Every structure is written in C-alpha cells, then in structure tokens.
Amino acid sequence: MGLVARVVEEMGIPTVTVSTGRDITALVRPPRSLFVNFPMGNTFGRAGDGDMQTTILRAALDFAVTATEPGILVDYPEPWQDQFEYFAGETTPEAIARQKKK
C-alpha cells in the first residue's frame, strides 16, 4: 500500500497514509504517514464511535495540509484504551496448507 501511495504521489496526486503498522510504514516510507497505535483493523477507532472516527479522519486531512517534508511520519497522540497484541489469524494446519497452495 505504501508503494502505491508513492507511485500516486510521484504521478502528481498528494497522498496521506493512515497506518497501524509503524515499522512497516517507516521502511516503505510513503510521502506522508499518520501512525495510529490502534489494532490493525481499527485505524479510525471503535465500531459505533463516529466522533472518534471523524477525529482521526480529520487529523489525517489536516496532516495532508501541514506536512512539508517528504517521507514524514507522525504519531497520532491518542493511545488505544486497552492492551492489544499481534493478530496471528488462522494458524491451523488446514489454514497453513491452504496458504501454501497459492
């Protein structure tokens, strides 16, 4: 996804990437990255919490205006309320076999 943002930007359309994977985003380096330290899948917050979703979306839009340095990565200041871990998904032998086939 970061690669796509880089190409879009290179071709003349500004982009802002809203990421929950800080290390990956730092490597790939999209033009403008807002890192939100929330679980992957909850980039804009919780289900049913429209205010939080709007706040983060607005932060991304405002960042697109204020960012001045190519490759900049900033941290959204609010933390997720609970501890969370890496989501490993399906790791059953069947799931592994299915993924290997492809």
Partner 1 sequence: MEPIRYVDALNNKYGAMGFPPYQWSENDTAPWTPLTKPLADCTVAMLVSGGISHCTAAPFDPDARNDHRVDEVDPATPTDQYQIHDSYYDHTDAGRDLNCIFPVDRLAELAASGEIGAVAGRHWSGFMGRTYNRSKVINESAPAFTEELRADGVDLLIAIPA
Subset of residues 16 to 45 that bind partner 1, contact rule: CB under 8 A: 16-25, 27-31, 35, 37, 39-45
Q: How far is the CB of 62 from partner 1 (least distance, A)?
A: 8
**The token pair that represents 32 in the structure block:** 């403008």
d(CA 28, CA 26): 6
Find the binding residues for partner 1 in span 70-99 (CB under 8 A): 70-71, 79-80, 83-91, 95-96, 98-99
Q: How far is the CB of 18 from partner 1 (least distance, A)?
A: 5
Query: Which among 83, 73, 81 has a CA at the least distance from the CA of 23?
Result: 73
CA 81 to chain centre: 18
Q: Which is nearer to partner 1, 50 or 74 (CB)?
A: 50
Binding of residue 47 to partner 1 (CB under 8 A): yes
**The token pair that represents 8 in the structure block:** 């879009």
